[in-house]
Amino acid sequence: MKTNLTELVARVDAYAAKQTLPTEQTTARLRTLLSDALAKATTAEADGTFFVKTGDIPAMWLRDATFQVLPYVKLIKTIPALESFLVGVLRRELRYVQHDPYANAFNQTASGAHWSEDDSDVAVSDLVWERKFEIDSLCAPLFLALKLRENTTHTDYLDDEFWQTLDVIVTVFETEQHHDQSPYYFKRVDCPANDTLTNDGRGTPVGYTGMIWNGFRPSDNACEYGYHVPSNMFVVAVLEPLLPLMPTQFSSLKARIEQLVAAVKAGIATYAVVTLPGGKRGYAYEVDGLGHQKLMDDANVPSLLSLPFIGYTNIDDELYQHTRAFILSAQNPYYYQGKVLAGIGSNHTPEAYVWPISLAMEGLTATDQAVKVGQLEKIAATDNGTGQCHESVSVDDASQYTRDWFSWANMTYCELALDVIEV
């Protein structure tokens, strides 16, 4: 049955209108934003899939799109028609992965539009907007599929196309466990240093760890050290739950996944568990297998802050709690505190700018309801009267922000609001 987006928007708006959060401001913001991805970012395609642009950039990021539509998964029982919409988003993501598993963002059509025309001397498909290799781009569709599995009784989307795409994903992961043998590189000219890879596009040297090499962080900025720990944890979080769901005809793929997950977990335990400032054991953000570590966290998900949300660990896990205390302190170089905000930012945006995504994630990974509500209030109070959550906001002046419309941030606010409502 064809999904009518106009009707879906009306139903989501009607649902939002009935909800009440602890403050008038947070309630009003939910009612403004809950239909954002459906009403403003989504286009229905003739093949039954859906293109979801990231916001004020006309491309579909695999990661962003997953988190943009994720709140709607919670509403399927109330609005069953959302299921076919979400499956349509998933199918489009899978087909993009099949087209180019090293790309992070895609055009709606094969228009030839690219973020930059000077990325490298490797031919980039006309369907690809940007070809930055990010592990999370390949994990995101699997995460969406698992969330659908948790909230629906249908599993038609776990078909041959899904498992064949998973095979493509696993093949890339296996290749990038040995990045020195990989064909992938990324070079961009006339750009900031964090927007390209060093070493002739290969990135800084790494040693074998069992983990998967990653070119760019979820912020789209280059990794300083090649093993991005939260993304490798995301791999474990999405692959392990898929194992018992795999059909018998994919037994060979299942065995490869089991081997891959074991290697990644061993690599995390050996290289990513470190002594944090203050002397407690926790997780590094990046490592290289050669003795170097990056102790920090970034606002973009997957992050160390988000580990319980992505399903890697429990909130009360000791290593996570030690890590959380570190990254939510001034010891994290991207934790900023000012007159109006305190939270985690990114080297993707100006210094002393906090991301509403990280503020929402702080709430989503808290156990105290008052903390969750407090994070909602912070986000709603710093939109500068626009009704939008923005990409990042100055800690001292809410009128200073980046990006007028960033749908991922809007929908992560909604994710937290629905968590508070306990849908």
Q: In this predicted structure, what is the pLDDT of residue 3?
A: 79
Q: In this predicted structure, what is the pLDDT of residue 422?
A: 87
Q: In this predicted structure, what is the pLDDT of residue 423?
A: 52
Q: In this predicted structure, what is the pLDDT of residue 122?
A: 75
Q: What is the mean pLDDT of residues 187-203?
A: 94
* Tens digit of each residue's pLDDT (9 = 90 or more) over 335-360: 999 999 999 999 999 999 999 999 99
Q: What is the mean pLDDT of residues 71-91?
A: 97
Q: Is the pLDDT of residue 32 over 80?
A: yes
* Tens digit of each residue's pLDDT (9 = 90 or more) over 370-391: 999 999 999 999 999 999 999 9
Q: In this predicted structure, what is the pLDDT of residue 99?
A: 98
Q: Is the pLDDT of residue 11 over 90?
A: yes
Q: Is the pLDDT of residue 1 over 70?
A: no
**Per-residue confidence at 117, pLDDT binned at 50, 70, 90?**
confident
42-44 and 50-52 strand pairing: antiparallel
Q: What is the mean pLDDT of residues 280-309?
A: 98
Helices marked H in 250-355 — which ranges?
251-267, 307-310, 318-327
Q: Is the pLDDT of residue 121 over 80?
A: no
At 275, is the secondary structure helix, strand, or coil?
strand
Q: In this predicted structure, what is the pLDDT of residue 268?
A: 98
* 215 Cβ contact partners less than 8 Å away, ≥ 6 residues apart: 132, 133, 134, 184, 186, 197, 203, 222, 223, 226
Q: For Cα atoms 399, 387, 404, give the angle at the middle one, nearest 5 degrees.
A: 60
> Does the N-terminal peptide bond of residue 302 adopt cis geometry, omega within 30 degrees of 0?
yes
**Per-residue confidence at 311, pLDDT binned at 50, 70, 90?**
very high
Q: For Cα atoms 283, 287, 288, give the angle at the middle one, nearest 5 degrees.
A: 160
**Per-residue confidence at 217, pLDDT binned at 50, 70, 90?**
very high
* Tens digit of each residue's pLDDT (9 = 90 or more) over 246-284: 999 999 999 999 999 999 999 999 999 999 999 999 999
Cβ(273)–Cβ(317) below 8 Å = no
Buried b / exposed e across 190-214, counting CB within 10 Å, b at 16+? eeeebbbbeeebbbbebeebbbbbb
Q: How buried is residue 68: exposed, middle or buried, by Cβ count under 10 Å (0-12/13-18/19+)? A: buried
Q: In this predicted structure, what is the pLDDT of residue 130?
A: 96
Enter the DSSP assignment of 398. T
Cα separation, 184 vs 199, in Å, equals 12
Cβ(291)–Cβ(223) below 8 Å = no
At 55, is the secondary structure helix, strand, or coil?
strand
**Which domains does the chain possess?**
5-421 (1.50.10.10)
Cβ(359)–Cβ(391) below 8 Å = no
Buried b / exposed e across 132-171, counting CB within 10 Å, b at 16+? bbbbbbbbbbbbbbbbbbebbeeeebbeeebbebbbbbbe
Range scoring the smallest mean pLDDT among 112-126, 145-159, 299-313, 358-372: 112-126
**Per-residue confidence at 322, pLDDT binned at 50, 70, 90?**
very high
Instruction: Please report, rounded to a whole number, the percentage of residues in the chain having pLDDT higher than 90.
Output: 96
**Per-residue confidence at 131, pLDDT binned at 50, 70, 90?**
very high
Q: Is the pLDDT of residue 182 over 60?
A: yes
At 386, is the secondary structure helix, strand, or coil?
coil
Q: Is the pLDDT of residue 118 over 80?
A: no
Buried b / exposed e across 222-238, counting CB within 10 Å, b at 16+? bbbbbbbbbbbbbbbbb
Q: Is the pLDDT of residue 2 over 80?
A: no
Q: What is the mean pLDDT of the chain?
A: 96
Q: What Å distances lie between residue 366 and 18, 27, 47, 103, 343, CA to CA?
A: 25, 20, 40, 33, 14
Helices marked H in 54-159 — which ranges?
62-73, 82-99, 135-151
Enter the DSSP assignment of 77. T
**Per-residue confidence at 120, pLDDT binned at 50, 70, 90?**
low
Closest to 22 in 3D by CA, of 366, 373, 371, 364 = 373
Q: How many CB atoms are closer than 10 A to CB 367? A: 9
